[in-house]
Amino acid sequence: MNPNPQFSALPAIVQEFIDGIIRKMGYRRSVRQEVHQELTAHFTDALKNCTDPTLRQQRAESLLADFGDAEMLAKLIRRGKIRCRPWWRTAVVRSLQGVTAFFVLFVFYLVWFSLGRPTVRIDYLQMLNDKARPQVADADNAWPQYEKAIDLFVKKSEDMFNITGRFKELSAQDQQKIRQWVTANQPAWDQVVAATGKSYCFRNYTLGENAARPILLGVMLPHISEVRDLARVGQQLAQIQVTDGQSDKAIGTCLVMIRQGKQWMGQATLIEYLVGIAIGSMGQEELTRVLAQSPQNAESLAKIRGELASIWSGEYPKFSFEWERLTFLDAVQNIFTEGGPGGGHLSPRAMTLFGQIMDDPMPIPIAASMALVHAGRTETVERGNEIYKALEDSIAYTPWQRKTQNLRLPEQLVEKLSSRRFALLRSFVPALSKAIERYYRSKVSTEATKTIVAILEYKAGKGRWPETLGELKSAGFLSTVPMDPYSDGPLMYRKDGESFTLYSRGCDLDDDGGKIVAGDLWGENAGGQHGPDGPDGDRVFWPVN
């Protein structure tokens, strides 16, 4: 307060009294100044006739006694002044108070939110290894041979990356390079051959360099590309062998590749399963090419049929999303705080660490804003389990059933998820339903290969093509007539004079009479739709294109 001259002229006890009231009022400065001025004027008027210091002091004391308790007076004045406040000022003050209260609560919430830490209770990695490890002797494990093969593997030199096409169509110079590369890899390939003689392949899943942050998503799958490269050695070797007129050796090489593919389809992770599918398909396609290029006699074909029956005896390797589900659950336990009252939310700090593992660093503010809007732990897990179950159930339906009956439950469940509230789940799930189609394609390709061998054997033995695929079953060449996953019937078969055609309807579900569309093996570019607009076509297994 800036005392005015009247105030300075007042007795000290009065000044003290006024200052005390003003101090205790604790209201806006302009209002306090006004009250100060008014009280000063009051006491100045009350004391103006008292010139004698003693009398003035006595009068002042009397006035103060009349005014009563300064604290009570300050309260009453403050209350009166607050009531005098215009409505708009009251509205502004109330709004500011509301905003401040919200902000304070929000800050408390943020502090509580950011202090929460996930608690890892389940060792999903151990669970995975326990599930994946077969109950058989270690001596039957192919992994040690694969490890040796990987160590011995010689990579292609850079100038070889441009060499594309089948071996017999390459220039002499390129053929020479390929021969040298395959020869250099012969020791590695010998190990692959030894590995495929074993009954199973198992290796412990480890975190490798991600061990400091044990999260299943960080499980290393080292050498997965080398395993695929080893199959490419086999592919080139088979092409060289058939070019050199050694079709029996080429067939043996193809069978090794098919065995290798099956072994890797037996692994726990979806990635390894898909690599197994790719390797097996490579072997089967190569085998049908060898058979097309170098016709075999009935005895040789019977042997191949027996080998294939042996490789694919029992149930076709099971396809499952269990690894993906466990990976998702492990991510949840590493990123969310525990459930219970006020808990079970996404932890911003854990999200940033998760981003580091995914090689997608996430700044804290982004992680925090994501965490604030993300669904809680229980809801996320419930939706996740719901989607993984729908995916698992979808495996039972062929692409034809899914498309004609519009069975899109997993996709529909994912589409329903808010991209903000379920960002984590959406980042895990989307591509998985495509894997189901890969599974069916692999399965029918395997069936088609067995059928081709059976048809060729039938012709070699009986001197004519079978009229129907059913004849192959009756003659004991096939145990079942192969079904087309893209129709509700068997694979399409037709005699074509000196040859035959075996095909699946492909993604568009239409029977185009065994039409091949270059660069669109399964008719995918037709968008899986019926009709004349798409580049229609079928998946033709024979004749070999």
Partner 1 sequence: MKFESELLKGVAPVVVLEILSQGRMYGYELSDAIEKRSGNVLSLGRGTLYPLLYNLEAKGLISAAWESNESGRQRRYYSITGIGKDELARQKQQWLDLQRGVATVFGFAVPQPA
- Residue 79 in the binding site for partner 1 (CB under 8 A): yes
Tell me the site size for partner 1, rule CB under 8 A.
26
Running DSSP on this structure, what letter comes out for residue 220? Answer: B
The minimum distance between CB 350 and partner 1, in angstroms, equals: 55
Nearest to partner 1 of 29, 83 (CB atom): 83
- Residue 193 in the binding site for partner 1 (CB under 8 A): no
- 8 Å CB contact between 18 and 26: no
Among 73, 127, 370, 483, binds partner 1 (CB under 8 A): 73
- Residue 71 in the binding site for partner 1 (CB under 8 A): no
Nearest to partner 1 of 72, 105 (CB atom): 72
Retrieve residue 262's tokens: 């099956």
d(CA 89, CA 513) in angstroms, rounded, equals 83
For the chain, the C-alpha Rg in angstroms (whole number) is: 41
The minimum distance between CB 54 and partner 1, in angstroms, equals: 22
* Residue of 492, 486, 527 lying closest to 509 (CA atoms): 486
Nearest to partner 1 of 42, 438 (CB atom): 42
Amino acid at 345: H
- 8 Å CB contact between 384 and 426: no
- Residue 80 in the binding site for partner 1 (CB under 8 A): yes
Q: Which residues pair with 495 in a beta bridge?
A: 500
- Residue 2 in the binding site for partner 1 (CB under 8 A): no
Nearest to partner 1 of 66, 158 (CB atom): 66
Running DSSP on this structure, what letter comes out for residue 70? Answer: H
Q: Which stretch binds partner 1 (CB under 8 A): 77-85, 240-248, 471-479, 488-496?
A: 77-85
Nearest to partner 1 of 68, 489 (CB atom): 68
- Residue 76 in the binding site for partner 1 (CB under 8 A): yes
Nearest to partner 1 of 86, 365 (CB atom): 86
Among 12, 84, 137, 518, binds partner 1 (CB under 8 A): 84
- Residue 88 in the binding site for partner 1 (CB under 8 A): no
The minimum distance between CB 13 and partner 1, in angstroms, equals: 15
The minimum distance between CB 419 and partner 1, in angstroms, equals: 53
Running DSSP on this structure, what letter comes out for residue 209? Answer: G
d(CA 377, CA 341) in angstroms, rounded, equals 12
Retrieve residue 192's tokens: 């692959």
* Residue of 200, 182, 225, 219 lying closest to 145 (CA atoms): 200
d(CA 381, CA 325) in angstroms, rounded, equals 10
Nearest to partner 1 of 89, 318 (CB atom): 89
- Residue 72 in the binding site for partner 1 (CB under 8 A): yes
* Residue of 364, 401, 368 lying closest to 483 (CA atoms): 401
- SS3 percent helix, strand, coil of the chain, rounded to 5, is 65, 5, 35
The minimum distance between CB 99 and partner 1, in angstroms, equals: 25
Q: Determine the distance from the C-alpha atom of residue 211 to the mean position of all C-alpha atoms in its chain, rounded to a whole number.
A: 20
Q: Which long-range contacts (CB under 8 A, 24 or more apart) does 211-218 make?
A: 213/353, 213/356, 213/357, 214/120, 214/125, 215/330, 215/331, 215/334, 215/354, 215/357, 216/124, 216/125, 216/128, 216/326, 216/327, 216/330, 216/331, 217/327, 217/330, 217/331, 217/354, 217/357, 217/358, 218/357
- Residue 69 in the binding site for partner 1 (CB under 8 A): yes
- Residue 405 CB contacts under 8 Å (≥ 6 apart), including other chains: 397
- Residue 200 in the binding site for partner 1 (CB under 8 A): no
The minimum distance between CB 16 and partner 1, in angstroms, equals: 16
497: left (phi over 0), alpha (psi -120 to 50) or beta: left
d(CA 466, CA 456) in angstroms, rounded, equals 9
d(CA 40, CA 10) in angstroms, rounded, equals 8
- Residue 9 in the binding site for partner 1 (CB under 8 A): no
Nearest to partner 1 of 72, 101 (CB atom): 72
d(CA 230, CA 257) in angstroms, rounded, equals 9
Of residues 29-68, which lie at the interface with partner 1 (CB under 8 A)? 34-35, 37-39, 41-42, 44-46, 63, 66-68
Nearest to partner 1 of 66, 159 (CB atom): 66
* Residue of 386, 481, 483, 403 lying closest to 437 (CA atoms): 403
Nearest to partner 1 of 4, 293 (CB atom): 4
Nearest to partner 1 of 14, 390 (CB atom): 14
Nearest to partner 1 of 8, 164 (CB atom): 8
The minimum distance between CB 335 and partner 1, in angstroms, equals: 56
Site map (CB under 8 A) of partner 1, residues 395-414, x = contact: --------------------
Please state, as a whole number, how many other Cβ atoms lie within 10 Å of the Cβ of residue 541: 25
The minimum distance between CB 98 and partner 1, in angstroms, equals: 23
The minimum distance between CB 6 and partner 1, in angstroms, equals: 7
The minimum distance between CB 60 and partner 1, in angstroms, equals: 12
Among 6, 57, 206, 210, binds partner 1 (CB under 8 A): 6
The minimum distance between CB 49 and partner 1, in angstroms, equals: 12
Nearest to partner 1 of 37, 246 (CB atom): 37
Nearest to partner 1 of 38, 488 (CB atom): 38
Q: Which long-range contacts (CB under 8 A, 24 or more apart) does 382-390 make?
A: 383/413, 383/417, 383/422, 383/425, 384/325, 384/328, 384/329, 384/332, 384/425, 384/428, 384/429, 385/325, 386/413, 387/413, 387/414, 387/425, 387/429, 388/321, 388/324, 388/325, 388/328, 388/429
Among 29, 83, 121, 464, binds partner 1 (CB under 8 A): 83
The minimum distance between CB 86 and partner 1, in angstroms, equals: 10
Q: Which residues bind partner 1 (CB under 8 A)?
A: 6, 34-35, 37-39, 41-42, 44-46, 63, 66-69, 72-73, 76-77, 79-81, 83-85
